[in-house]
Every structure is written in C-alpha cells, then in structure tokens.
Amino acid sequence: MTTSTGSGRLHDPLAFAFAPIHKGALGVATGLVTGLFIFVVTVLHVIAQPAGGLPLELLGQYFHGYTVTWLGALVGFLWGVVTGFVMGFFGAFVRNTTVAIYVFTLKTKAELQRTADFLDHI
C-alpha cells in the first residue's frame, strides 16, 4: 500500500522504517541530553550534598577537569556533550550500515530467486 503526499510522490510505508538516521542530528540530541544529565546531577549534588550519594568525583577520572562544583558542572556538561555526540553519531552509523547491509541482502536474494525462476522456464 502506498500513500500520496502533497508533492505528488508515492511513498512506501516500509521506506520510512528503513530510512537512514541522520548521524549529526542523533549525535547532537544525544550529546545535549548527556551533557544536561551530568550538569543536573552535579548541580543537585552541589546543592543538596547528600550523605550517601553517588561518587561523582570518579567522573574526574574520565573527564579532565571535572569536579563536583559549579565549575565542574559546566566542565561535565561540555564533556557530556562531546561524549554523547560521539555515542549518538556512532550508534546511527552502525544502525544505518546494518540496515543497508540487510536491505542489500534481501534485494540480492530476491533478484537471485527471480533469476532462478526465469532460468527454470527456459
């Protein structure tokens, strides 16, 4: 079944399911969410200073310059954006590559089956 759009083109609903994900857009979205998460958690620890809270100072082992302070929250935000961008970009890349290989395999198998059926009738 196909649906018509305002531009006059017909689209297959499966085309949307197998459409590639924009790597940059997913990277930016993942980066901002990761950065905001680190920022908010750090700020909450600076304000509330929980007795048995998470050992956030260990993030300093991974993110250079990170501390559980207001400045550390900004540094954590920047490192979170960079780290999240890389994770999102790589995730979209892997997904797009996997889907492309899968679709290519399906098309190749279908084409070979069609060719085999044709040769059987000769």
**Closest C-alpha to 39, from 100, 95, 80:** 80
Q: Write the CA distances from 119 to 53, 60, 77, integer angstroms.
A: 71, 66, 62
Split at pLDDT 50, 70, 90, the class of 121 is low
pLDDT of residue 94: 98
> Mean of the per-residue pLDDT values for the chain?
87
pLDDT of residue 53: 78
**pLDDT tens digits, residue range 31-60?**
999 999 999 999 999 999 888 878 989 999
Dihedral class, residue 49 (left if φ above 0, else alpha if ψ from -120 to 50, else beta): left
Q: Among all chains, which residue has been given the structure tokens 């290519």?
A: 104
pLDDT of residue 120: 66
Decide: 68 and 57 in contact? Cβ < 8 Å: yes
